[in-house]
Each structure stands twice: as structure tokens, then as C-alpha cells.
Amino acid sequence: MHIMEGFLPGIWALAWYAIAAPVVGYGMLKTARLVKDRDVNKSHIAVAAAFIFVLSALKLPSVTGSTSHPTGTGIAVVLFGPAVTAFLSTIVLLYQSLLLGHGGLTTLGANVTSMGIIGPLFGWAVYRSVKPHTDLQKATFAAALVADWTTYVVTSTQLALAFPAEPGLSGVIDSAITFLGVFAVTQLPIGIVEGALAAGLIGYISMSSESVRTRLGVTA
Amino acid sequence: MNRWLAAGGLLMVGLILFSFTTAGAWGGADGAAGEKVDSVAPDYDPWFESLWTPPSGEIESLLFSLQAAIGGLIIGYYLGRGSPLQSASETP
């Protein structure tokens, strides 16, 4: 879902930076506060970040004959909410744009906005609304799935806003459908795999840690 | 354990199924989106290049696996350190 380096016009690159920066800044502060509050949070933040690292390194083949990778933001958003997820995603996206030529510095703001902010925000909303009615794992599955899918919808929209098929709203929508055709179809099955992995890991995490059970409101 | 088996199984089934049902080039979707930009806006020139790109596909996959390894290491450490496994091995 990373928009490639240089593939957004300057004005859009700046605009997405402007949207992403305050959220990432707040997430950084919140992360620092969590670590300071309780030592045990440190290991859970590490595990949430590690999940993003692993999953966004897996380029999975999909039915369309192309490959794409999951986002891995599900665990972080379930444990700590969207702001911390934004901060952790930024670290991963920086690693990939600097060392892998994957994504880019000019498109970092846009990529953080899609994968780190809006995707997780929707995932979190779904988690919050589903959680009272089901168990932790099913809620996490839904959150990770929605966060993944939303990320790619946002990426398509970002590209469409910068490259409308024709001036005006209908051109943007046309383009968005074009880009969704590239991303979303590849991403549908990958989102499901991502949800299953996140659900599996959250089960283990909640088993191994009392403080996580308390945080998540799970009675063991 | 069942959960991980289920997730792993799902992944394997997916991989096998997909490798039979499609004959794509297995290129990255990110690159495909780049090509779409070319077709929607043919006169757009990417105005910035990556500061550094891996010199070859092999180096790139090395760095990708390094990324996965770092993540895997941390998750493995966390889970291995967790109490259920330890207490399970301590009980006779």
C-alpha cells in the first residue's frame, strides 16, 4: 500500500504530512507516557511494533496474480489505540523507505495517514463496537481485517485525489475505482490472513499477561 | 497451538490455491499502482527518487527478511518469556 517515492505531487505530499504529523507526535508522547507509567507496557509496545514489522515484510501472493503485504496494525490498535499505532507504523515505514526503497520520504506523510492513522482508526472503531458482543479474538480479527482493508481504500483515494481521471469529483471517483481495482482485490484475501494472525497472537498475549487482560477487559 | 495451526493452515491453503488458479506475474501491487498513475496521468514525472535503493533484488530480500526477523525475534522472546509456557514445563 505504499505510494512509491515521488509519486505524489508536492502539494499533496505536504498536505498528508500536515495531517499525519500531529497524530504521530501525539502518539509518540502517548507511547512515552505508557512506558513511563508501567514497565510492563514496554514489552507490549515492543510486541505490537514487532507484529507490524513482521507482517509488513511479508509480501503475500494473492488471487489477482500480484503480491502485496498486510499492514500488521491490528495488535497495536487493539492494545493501545490509533495514536500509538500511528507512531509505531511511522517507524516501520521509515525503515522501508530508507533501507528498502519501498514507499518513500516524500510519500511518507500519505503512507502514515493511510496505514498508521485512518486504517487503524476504523479498525479501532470496529473493535470498540464489536467487543461487547463477542470474544477478544473475534473482535481482534475484525479490527485487523478492517484496518487492513481501510488502509488500501485510503491509499487508492489518496492516489485518486492527486491523479483524477478528469477534473472534478467524478474524475476522482473514477480514478479511485481504478486504483482500488489494483489494490483492493489483491488485498481482500490478505486482509483475512492478517486478521487470523492477529487473532492468534492476541490470544497468546492475553494468556501470558495479567496486565493485558486488565487493559482489554478480558476475564480469564 | 490450535490457533497457530489454523492460521498457518489458512496461509498454506491460500498459497497453494492461488498458485493454481492464477497465472500472474506476482509483481507488487505498489508497482502496479505506479503504472496506473502513468496511464491516468501520462505526463506526470515522479519528482523525487529514493535516496538509496537496494543494489539488487537479493539485497532487497535480505533487508526484507531482516525486517521480519527483527519482528519475529521480539515476538518470540515475548511469548517464550510468558508465564504459561514456563509454568507448564515446570509442572511434572
More confident residue, A102 or A88: A88
Mean pLDDT of A150-169: 92
Domain A10-216: state its class: mainly alpha
What's the start-to-end Cα distance of chain A, in Å?
37
Q: Which of A57, A58, A104 is nearest residue B48 as measured by Cβ atoms?
A: A104
Q: pLDDT digit string (tens) for A21-31? A: 999 999 999 99
Domain assignment present for residue B44? The answer is no
Residue B62 structural domain: 54-92
Q: Is B49 on the interface with A (CB under 8 A)?
A: yes
Grid coordinates of A85 = 499505532
A-B CB pairs within 8 A amount to 182
Give yes or no for residue A220 having a pLDDT over 50: no
Q: Mean pLDDT for chain B?
A: 76
Q: Does A99 touch chain B (CB under 8 A)?
A: yes
> Residue B42 falls within a domain, yes or no?
no
Instruction: Supply B23's cell numbers.
Output: 497465472
Asked if residue B75 belongs to a domain, the reply is yes
Q: What secondary structure letter does DSSP report for B23?
A: -
* Domain assignment of residue B82, yes or no: yes
- The domain spans of chain A are 10-216
Assigned domain for B5 exists: no
Model confidence pLDDT, tens digit, residues A92-141: 999 999 988 888 999 999 999 999 999 999 999 999 999 999 999 999 99
Record: contact B79-A208, CB cut-off 8 A? yes
Q: Is B2 inside any structural domain?
A: no
**Considering its fold, how many domains does chain B have in total?**
1
Hey, is the C-beta of A29 within 8 angstroms of any chain B C-beta?
Answer: no
Q: Give A-chain residues touching B83 at CB under 8 angstroms.
A: 208
Q: What contacts A20, CB < 8 A, 6 or more positions away?
A: A86, A90, A108, A109, A110, A112, A113, A116, A117
Nearest to B28 among A68, A199, A205 (CB): A68
